Amino acid sequence: MHNNTIGESSGSEMIILIMGVSGSGKTTIGRLLAERLGWPFYDGDDFHSPANIEKMRQGIPLTDEDRQSWLTALANLIRKQISTRQSAVIACSALKKQYRDKLMVDSETVRFVYLKGSYDLIWSRLENRPGHFMKAELLASQFNDLEEPVDALTADINLPPEQIVDLIIQKTVQ
């Protein structure tokens, strides 16, 4: 198994981007996967500007323009990980193809995993998620923006998290 931990350089580093709408399980799956692989985990939400977070708190969907600095920060993180030869797992909505194109800084290293689920299932998850700035009411705008990837590993979020992580490891890392 590929296990490139921090500081280790095997020459085969990999960046796995866990993508999907809010509530699809990106952070849960990303953390589990990173833990299993011994890689660092980064939550894309941590790279949003305070202004973007405030907009989402108020239930205002982000525009493409709002997302540009966020995507640039994530692309820079990916470049840094690659330049230091460190694998990583990143949770990031990456809803539109143009966003994924900006994050695809190296096609040999970056892999996308799409967490796919129904609107109703994800709505119920968001309604029961306390303390997060993303409001359930913004889910419709996320589904409207979603351009499902054709070049990503797709995982059904009806599966238990451990099974999704097993699938990701089997299909991308081994």
Examine residue 10 and state whether it is found in any structural domain, yes or no: no
pLDDT > 70 fraction of the chain, expressed in percent and rounded: 89
Q: Does the residue 66 lie in any domain?
A: yes
Domain count, the chain: 1
Centre a 10 Å sphere on the Cβ of residue 121 and count the other Cβ atoms it contains.
13
pLDDT at position 137:
63
Range of the domain at 162: 15-173
29 domain residue, yes or no? yes
The CATH number of whichever domain residue 152 belongs to comes to 3.40.50.300
Confidence label for 5 from pLDDT (cuts 50, 70 and 90)? very low
98 occurs within a structural domain: yes
Q: Residue 22 domain-assigned?
A: yes
Rounded to the nearest 5°, which phi and psi values hold at 7?
90, -15
User: Which residues are CB-contacts of 82 (< 8 A; sequence separation ≥ 6)?
Assistant: 13, 15, 105, 106, 109
